[in-house]
Amino acid sequence: MVKRNENLARLPAGYLFPEINRRRRSLLLRNPHAKIVSLGVGDTSRPLTPHVVEAMRKAVLGLGTPEGYSGYGEEAGMLDLRKRIAQRLYRGTVDAEEVFLSDGAKCDCGRWQILFGPRTRIAVQDPAYPVYVDGSVIAGDGGAFEGGRFADIVYMQCKPENGFFPTLDELPPVDLIYFCSPNNPTGAAATREQLEELVAFARARGAIILFDSAYSDFIRDDSLPRSIFEIEDARRSAIEIGSFSKTAGFTGVRLGWSVVPKELAFDDGRPVIDDWKRITTTIFNGASNIAQYGGIAALDDEGVEETRGTVAYYMENARIIKDALDALGIENYGGSNAPYLWARFPGRKSWDVFEEILERAHVVVTPGAGFGPAGEEFIRFSAFGPREDVLEAVERLRRTVALVRLP
Ligand code: PL4
């Protein structure tokens, strides 16, 4: 008999989002006529924009001709797209050769976890996108699961009380720090000073920051950094992962990237970028060429203009949700520079609040505990739904939330 991978055996329960879908299906089995609306998963609902569709249509038609056909490409992606990302999104702070295209930020997280390997000392914001912890555990990190947390993972508590930024000086030694800004799930966006502190901390401790900027296009406040590479010295202490998912609507098309600065090195002086090339050329065969043509279009003037419209639509959804939560007197955060609202239900278990909102209002949300221990008492609202669903959901919340917020 084949032995089960003991790392998988250490994971406590199913992955968060399938579990939410399971509960949603369970409601539908009991009540097949329920009209469920979702403010749950951060999945996009706006259609691809015309300019991007046209570029992808041309790419597909080209692939259907002998002259236009192409097979496997460079694993790192098309140079044209890498250049555009370096120039347009990073304004020259990174080189095109440091940009590696992929099939999405989540998939890159998994490959980074393979690269760093087992027994890496991990620190995560708490709460955090669950892939950081779950993927690290699968890769052999984290130690035993005890009392709702992994013994060897450093959970950097991020709560309203500390402005969603951890007290770094108190942390034990760490190797890899996951940091997401604008943050999923809290909606907090780190200031320049906070990221400077983070980079200085990583430099002093010899740690590497894995900076997830999947939501950078949602930043409205121009004083806030959109990339860790806006911070001096970050090139020697950070990797950044980005995504076309939320801004260009590529959650299904699949396109993301990692930026790996040439200066970033392991303790023996070997460049991290060399190992990243080794990993990606070995267990990845490059992002879809059709998606990459779409990405190139999304980053020219017309594409960027269209994308702004998509982002504005979701941010208007965020405003509608925020106004409703404010009107209901529910303490909430985020929604100004991020497409997520983080609402507090004092004294309540977040899975209980999730169940009650689902059962009474037929609205799917995401329970904060699914993002880590510090997410208890909180509910995440996603602004990625169609406008009519958002309006319907907030109307139903107005009618039912008073019933669920009492301990
Ligand atoms: C549901 C901080 C959503 N099944 O699409 P990708 O792979 O380029 O980006 C995924 C991603 C990366 N980094 C952060 C994210 O929040 C996400 C997407 N998160 C959410 O609701 O939290 C979608 C989740 C999906 C999943 O599990 O990733």
Domain of residue 371, CATH code: 3.90.1150.10
* Pairing assessment for the beta strands 238-243 and 208-212 based on DSSP bridges: parallel
Looking at the fold, whether 114 and 263 belong to one and the same domain comes out as: yes
Looking at the fold, whether 19 and 162 belong to one and the same domain comes out as: no
Which of ligand 1's atoms lies nearest the C-alpha of 250?
A: 5
Q: How far is the CA of 255 from the centre of ligand 1 (A)?
A: 12
From 85, 106, 184, 239, give the residue whose CB has the most ligand 1 atoms within 8 Å, as the site to mutate: 106
Give the count of beta carbons closer than 10 Å to the beta carbon of residue 331: 14
Looking at the fold, whether 83 and 119 belong to one and the same domain comes out as: yes
Looking at the fold, whether 176 and 95 belong to one and the same domain comes out as: yes
The answer to whether residue 70 is domain-embedded is yes
The answer to whether residue 131 is domain-embedded is yes
Tokens representing 344 are 């507090």
Cα 132 from Cα 177, distance rounded (Å): 10
Looking at the fold, whether 158 and 275 belong to one and the same domain comes out as: yes
Nearest CA to ligand 1 atom 3: 42
Give the count of beta carbons closer than 10 Å to the beta carbon of residue 12: 10
Looking at the fold, whether 256 and 291 belong to one and the same domain comes out as: yes
Nearest CA to ligand 1 atom 19: 42
Alpha carbon distances (Å) from 71 to 77, 159, 296, 297? 12, 48, 18, 20
Cα 216 from Cα 66, distance rounded (Å): 39
Q: How far is the CA of 148 from the centre of ligand 1 (A)?
A: 22
Which of ligand 1's atoms lies nearest the C-alpha of 43?
A: 23
The answer to whether residue 258 is domain-embedded is yes
Cα 2 from Cα 316, distance rounded (Å): 52
Q: What is the pLDDT of residue 401?
A: 73
Tokens representing 239 are 């990797």
The pTM of this model reads 0.97
Cα 29 from Cα 391, distance rounded (Å): 25
From 15, 102, 181, 184, give the residue whose CB has the most ligand 1 atoms within 8 Å, as the site to mutate: 184
Last residue of a domain, one of 285, 301, 317: 301
Q: What is the pLDDT of residue 298?
A: 98
Phi then psi dihedrals of residue 297, to 5 deg: -65, -35
Nearest CA to ligand 1 atom 4: 17
Q: What is the pLDDT of residue 13?
A: 76
Pocket of ligand 1 (CB under 6 A): 17, 41-42, 104-107, 129, 180, 184, 212, 214, 243, 245, 251, 256
The answer to whether residue 262 is domain-embedded is yes
Burial of 251 (0-12, 13-18, 19+ CB in 10 A): middle
Give the count of beta carbons closer than 10 Å to the beta carbon of residue 342: 30
Looking at the fold, whether 294 and 257 belong to one and the same domain comes out as: yes
Q: How far is the CA of 42 from the centre of ligand 1 (A)?
A: 7
The answer to whether residue 138 is domain-embedded is yes
Alpha carbon distances (Å) from 125 to 89, 99, 314? 25, 25, 25
How many domains does the chain fold into?
Answer: 2
Q: How far is the CA of 182 from the centre of ligand 1 (A)?
A: 13
Q: How far is the CA of 46 from the centre of ligand 1 (A)?
A: 16
From 21, 85, 111, 129, give the residue whose CB has the most ligand 1 atoms within 8 Å, as the site to mutate: 129
Looking at the fold, whether 214 and 279 belong to one and the same domain comes out as: yes
The answer to whether residue 91 is domain-embedded is yes
Looking at the fold, whether 175 and 283 belong to one and the same domain comes out as: yes
Q: What is the pLDDT of residue 118?
A: 96
User: 156: domain range?
Assistant: 51-301
Q: What is the pLDDT of residue 9?
A: 93
The answer to whether residue 1 is domain-embedded is no
Looking at the fold, whether 60 and 204 belong to one and the same domain comes out as: yes
Per-residue confidence of the chain (407 residues) as pLDDT tens digits? 999 999 999 998 788 999 999 999 999 999 999 999 999 999 999 999 999 999 999 999 999 999 999 999 999 999 999 999 999 999 989 999 999 999 999 999 999 999 999 999 999 999 999 999 999 999 999 999 998 899 999 999 999 999 999 999 989 999 999 999 999 999 999 999 999 999 999 999 999 999 999 999 999 999 999 999 999 999 999 999 999 999 999 999 999 999 999 999 999 999 999 999 999 999 999 999 999 999 999 999 999 999 999 999 999 999 999 999 999 999 999 999 999 999 999 999 999 999 999 999 999 999 999 999 999 999 999 999 999 999 999 999 998 876 665 55
Q: How far is the CA of 130 from the centre of ligand 1 (A)?
A: 9
Q: How far is the CA of 257 from the centre of ligand 1 (A)?
A: 14
Q: How far is the CA of 206 from the centre of ligand 1 (A)?
A: 28
Q: What is the pLDDT of residue 215?
A: 98
Residue 224, domain CATH: 3.40.640.10
Phi then psi dihedrals of residue 105, to 5 deg: -65, -40
* Pairing assessment for the beta strands 332-334 and 340-344 based on DSSP bridges: antiparallel
Q: How far is the CA of 310 from the centre of ligand 1 (A)?
A: 18
Looking at the fold, whether 201 and 73 belong to one and the same domain comes out as: yes
Q: What is the pLDDT of residue 400?
A: 86
Last residue of a domain, one of 301, 318, 338: 301
Greatest Cα pair distance, the chain, in angstroms, is 67
Which of ligand 1's atoms lies nearest the C-alpha of 384?
A: 21
CA 151 to chain centre: 24
Last residue of a domain, one of 301, 322, 357: 301
The answer to whether residue 222 is domain-embedded is yes
Which of ligand 1's atoms lies nearest the C-alpha of 107?
A: 7
Tokens representing 335 are 């929604």
Which of ligand 1's atoms lies nearest the C-alpha of 366?
A: 21
Which of ligand 1's atoms lies nearest the C-alpha of 41?
A: 21
Nearest CA to ligand 1 atom 18: 42
Looking at the fold, whether 237 and 166 belong to one and the same domain comes out as: yes
Q: How far is the CA of 26 from the centre of ligand 1 (A)?
A: 24
